[in-house]
Structure formats: structure tokens, C-alpha cells
Amino acid sequence: MFHIHNHLSVDQQLELVIVGIYDKPAKFSEYAKSADEVLDGQLTELLKDGEISAKARKVSKIHTLGKLGAKQLVFVGLGKEKELSFETLKEAAGKAFKQLKGTKAPGAAIDLESFTIETISATDAANAISEAFALASYQFEGYKQKPNEPEKKIEELHVFTAVDEADIKAALTVGYVYGKATNSARDLVNLPPNMLTASDLAEYARSLGEKYGFETEILDKEEMQKLGMGALLAVNQGSVEPPKMIVLKYQGKENWTDVIGLIGKGVTYDTGGYSLKPRESMVGMKTDMGGAAAVLGAMEIIGEMRPEQNVVAVIASTDNMVSAEAFKPDDVITSMSGKTIEVTNTDAEGRLALADAVTYAKQHGANYLVDVATLTGGVIIALGSEMTGAMTNNEALFEQVLEASAEAGEPMWRLPITEKDKKRVRNSKLADLNNSPGREGHAIMGGAFVGEFAEETPWVHLDIAGTSTAKRDSELGTSGATGVMTRTLALLVERFESAAE
């Protein structure tokens, strides 16, 4: 996959070389300068004419016509040095890899020096490029008949650098692990609902457990009934598919303390139940397990990187269907915590599943909670499709989640939960809680409801209803599932500082 070399020269026989170029003033790397000399200054002329662009995320391909060892030069515009961020570099590299899809070259050479500046080290650049390579190369296979000739793509990167080989190899590995795990989450979300039931999701989690040595627990319906998981079981009432409560434990410390609980909503299909969604809104509801996918993707990274941190992942999984046995508005159910819930909207089912998952995570010793869910359409109205909504009961934990999201390039925006919001969620004449107390502040009501089960445990809620899928291609992915929050959760675990420390 990755090969590291110490020196890149213009006479080396290569299919293609990827070179970064900065703007205003535009400047070539040492390799590009040497190539320009061999080509009698033609690269400089092409730069002046705009055939080679240094603007951020612009990609320019130059055929050398046998005058260089490299058959093709691919210039990646990085914009102004002072404006370059890790995320911009990643996106620029991703765009280059996307444009090289279908190339006959099995490998590409990277002039790593050309991507490095004072604020972007060689290891940072290597990390960004390898993550971009994984993310930009993603394509969901789907179920169409396969062509006889498989699509050609770059399989190997040859990285040329003077920096210590071990450091560069580690950076390349980390970037690729993060990108590959995000793709695993994308695959899960893109699967059709008849191909990914709660049982299928549980088997996938079990396979992760076997691969990485996680302690694994899969609760079936009867076990949930004994434990009193009435909230998740209510959502499952209308389904012929059995529900699953999925638990993966990773112990990175000697003692089971300072445990981070990652909780994912795993609703594999959501009709809305008796509060039935309109036809247009029902298409795409296979993605309602995006939170579960993010948690499982993060656990893949944790399994590969082995951080010194304790983690318990808990996923509540079912579909939400309509039948004679389905739960209905006006029902009152009892959650695992003992709190009773008046159901006023069966399409507000995700928070019911999360209620029991949060309680179970606490029973497994979670000292900190982060739940991820495609919870509400309201968050899309509030924040659009590129910003995850966040809510919390703990400033210190939220700051760590926010920092991780910024580093991962997965932005979020905090929404408030006031005492009045909590009173609205508790506004029921029949039960302790109301699962859907009105459309106003719908995203906040969903978060506030889950917060009732976190209680005093430090907790952050991430509503990814808008960000878990994309309607169009980007530099780092295709339309469809994004795998959002996979990298944020993994970075949170990797960088976590507990209150005890």
C-alpha cells in the first residue's frame, strides 16, 4: 500500500508524480524546479498561462512526453501558505485522487516536500494524504452486474521524503486507518434495509469483536425483557425482525475506570410507525442507523490503534414498523431506568432506543457518555446539512468533543438545553416523560429527552440527521453515506483527558 523512499529525482522512471504547489507567490518544490529545468521552463510558462493552477483544490495534469522519468505530473493547488489548513490539504489531495480514478497507473509517487510548510509538517502532510487516499477512493459497490473489466485505480503510494521513515510510516498508517474505518461506516449506512437488519448489525459488531479482541455482548429480545428495556422493545413491537442490544468493550487501562461510553442509534429502517412518514420522507430511512455505524467505525479505529483508554460501545438496534402489534400514540411505556414515557409520536422512536442504551452503558460503568444519532429533521432545519447539532450537560466533556470534531473536519454547533426545555420533556399527565412535546425546538426536545437518562453523568449528544448523508459528491467522498463522526469519536478517545487526570 505505502512505500517510503528517500530521494525523488527527475530521471526516475515513474508513471505519475503528485506535486503540491502553493499560491501567491506560486513556488515549485525542488523536484518541480528540476523538472522545469529539464523541460526548458515550460512548467513556469504553464503556471503563468493558468494551465497549472496553484489555487486551493485545483488539480492540473501535465504529460511530460518522455522528457522526464515521470510520464505525468499532477499538480495539486494548495492556495496561500498562510491560509492552508490540514482539512484543506486533505480535500486538495482527495480531489487529485478522485481525478486519477480510472488511471492505468497502479501506483503514484508523492513529492511530500512539496506539501510541507512551517505549519504543516511532513508527518501531518503524510497523515492528510493517506486519509484522503482512503476517503476519496471510496465507492459503494452496490448490486449492479459487474463489468468484465474491473475499474483500474491506484493501489499503491510511493512517498518520497527526507524525514525519518518510521515517523512517515506511522503517519501514513494512522491516516489510512481513520479513512478506511470511515468507509466501513459508509458501507453500513449505504446497505439496503433488507440487507442490514438488527441481527446483521449485531453479527458485524461480533466480527469486529473477534478481530480486535473486544469483549462482546449481544442481548436478544428475551434478555431485554428480563432487564426491563421497555423503551427499545416498544419500538420493536411492530417488527418481525428481533431487536438487538449490542455491546463492545475495549479495555486500554489496567482498571475499568474513566470509561467512555459511545452510544449509537441503530434503527435499521424507520417507517415512523403509526405516526407514519409521508412517502417522500420514507425513502432513505435505511440510513437511520448512521449513529450505530459511526460508533462501529470508531471501534474499528480503536481496535487498530489500541489507545490507553477504556471504552464501552452500546448500540440499540431495531427497525420501526407498522403492524397490529406496533406501539402507538397514547401508549405509556417503562424504560430500563424505571422512568415512564408517554408516547405522543411513534416517529420519535430513536430517543426511546437511546434511552435504554444510555442506561445500559451506565450499568457497564460508563463515566462519560457520547451518543450519536440521526435523531431529528429539526436539526436540518436549524443547522443545514453540513453541521452536526450538539447538546451537553458538561462543559469540559463538550470542549473535548468539539476539539476532536475540529481536528477530524466534522464540524458541529452547540444547541442549548434550558430548564424550560427539560420541563417540556417532563410535561405529561400520565408519565414521567413525553417523547415528543411539540415541533418547536424539535432537535432540542430530542436531545433533552436523551439527557433525562444521562442524568448527572457527563454527556454529549450529537444529532447527525443532516450530516450522515450527502446529496452530492465531495472531494473526499461520494453522494450517500458520509461516515460522519467516526473520526471524531476515535480522536476523542485517543486524546481524552478524564476529570481524574
Residues 151 and 220 in one domain: no
Same-domain pairing of 18 and 108: yes
Decide if 422 contacts 448 (C-beta within 8 A): yes
Closest CA to 271 of 232, 316, 313, 322: 322
- The tens digit of pLDDT for each residue in 220-233 reads 999 999 999 999 99
**Has residue 259 been placed in a domain?**
yes
Q: State whether residue 122 is helix, strand or coil.
A: helix
- CB burial class (10 A; 0-12, 13-18, 19+) of residue 477? buried
Q: Is residue 419 part of a domain?
A: yes
Cell of 56: 486551493
Q: Are residues 261 and 308 in the same domain?
A: yes
Query: Is residue 185 one of the residues assigned to a domain?
Result: no
Measured in residues, the chain has a length of 501
The backbone torsions φ and ψ at residue 144, rounded to the nearest 5 degrees and listed phi first, read: -75, 155
What are phi and psi for residue 233, nearest 5 degrees?
-65, -35
Pairing between β-strand 244-251 and β-strand 215-219 as defined by DSSP bridges: antiparallel
The SS3 of residue 288 is helix
Q: What is the CATH number of the domain that holds 360?
A: 3.40.630.10
| Residue from 277, 328, 422, 426 carrying the catalytic annotation | 277
Q: How far apart are CA 225 and CA 498, in angstroms?
A: 34
* Chain centroid to CA 431: 36
pTM for this model (two decimals): 0.97
Q: Which of 104, 333, 91, 97 is nearest to 234 (CA)?
A: 333
pLDDT tens for each residue of 32-65 = 999 999 999 999 999 999 999 999 999 999 999 9
Distance of alpha carbon 228 from alpha carbon 214, whole angstroms: 25
- Report the pLDDT value the prediction gives residue 102, as an integer from 0 to 100: 79
C-alpha cell at 372: 450519536
- Any idea what DSSP says for residue 61? E
Of 284, 248, 293, 269, the C-alpha closest to 485 is 293
Q: Is residue 172 part of a domain?
A: no
Q: Check whether residue 141 and residue 249 sit in a common domain.
A: no
Is there a domain that residue 95 lies in? yes
**φ/ψ (deg, to 5) at 9:** -125, 160
Is 423 an active-site residue? Answer: no
* 128 and 231 assigned to the same domain: no
Q: In whole angstroms, give the CA distance from residue 481 to residue 491.
A: 20
CATH code, 31: 3.40.220.10
In a domain? residue 58 = yes
Which regions in the chain score pLDDT beneath 70? Answer: 148-150, 499-501
| Structural domain of 328 | 192-495
Annotated active-site residue 351? The verdict is yes
174 falls within a domain = no
- Residues in binding site: 265, 270, 288, 347, 349
Question: d(Cα 319, Cα 270) in Å, to the nearest integer?
Answer: 6
Q: Which residues pair with 470 in a beta bridge?
A: 480
- Residues that constitute the known binding site for Mn(2+): 265, 270, 288, 347, 349
The predicted pLDDT at position 153 comes to: 79
Contact 465, 374 (CB under 8 A): yes
